[in-house]
Amino acid sequence: MKKKFDVIPGMLCIFVLKLLSKKKMHGYEIINEIKEKTHHCWKPSAGTIYPLLRRMEEKKLIRRYGKDKRKISYAITKKGKMLIKRIDRIRESWMKNFYKFNEVFRHVFKTPNAEIDMILLEIRNKIKSMNKEKITRAEKILIETKRKLEELESES
């Protein structure tokens, strides 16, 4: 069963910048890439993506290429790359602090899934250090694990 993907405000802009940091893309391609990366849990509409792309272009985070409306592609600018680097540093700092204080969080909040959260965090950190081939293999393993968990969830 697919669950709705909750989107944090501003998350779509970051997602788009991350995608464009890898290659130039057109709007439809961005929509489909987000859909694929979220395993079909989130597919932003054209009515969401194109106004966002315009705002990002106005803020000089991305640049438009092409004159024909059907062939416009977008690329990240230097300013956009700097923003992504800053966000990555903040995320890294937050993750280190989260990891450091995990025991305190577990004790204070008595979260039953804290151990699972830690396992997922460790998996994420291990994958970050892998090369592209290993990441592809890891992704297949995780997709299969997700499928098995969905089967487990659907058991009576």
Q: CATH number for the domain including 56?
A: 1.10.10.10
Q: Is the pLDDT of residue 107 over 50?
A: yes
Q: What percent of the chain has pLDDT over 90?
A: 43
Q: Is the pLDDT of residue 1 over 50?
A: no
Q: Per mean pLDDT, which range of 58-72, 85-99, 139-153 is the poorest?
A: 85-99
Q: What is the mean pLDDT of residues 39-63?
A: 91
Alpha helices in 1-131 (DSSP H): 11-20, 27-37, 46-58, 78-100, 102-109, 114-128
Last residue of a domain, one of 62, 88, 114: 88
What is the pLDDT, as a whole number, of residue 109?
Answer: 66
- Tell me how far the alpha carbon of residue 70 is from its chain's centroid: 26
Domain span at 67: 1-88
122 and 70 inside one domain: no
116 and 65 inside one domain: no
1 and 70 inside one domain: yes
CB-based contact 138:131 (threshold 8 Å): no
79 and 120 inside one domain: no
Report the domain count for the chain: 2
Domain-embedded: residue 148: yes
81 and 12 inside one domain: yes
Domain-embedded: residue 64: yes
What is the pLDDT, as a whole number, of residue 153?
Answer: 86
pTM: 0.62
60 and 7 inside one domain: yes
Domain-embedded: residue 52: yes
Confidence of residue 83 (pLDDT cuts 50, 70, 90): very high
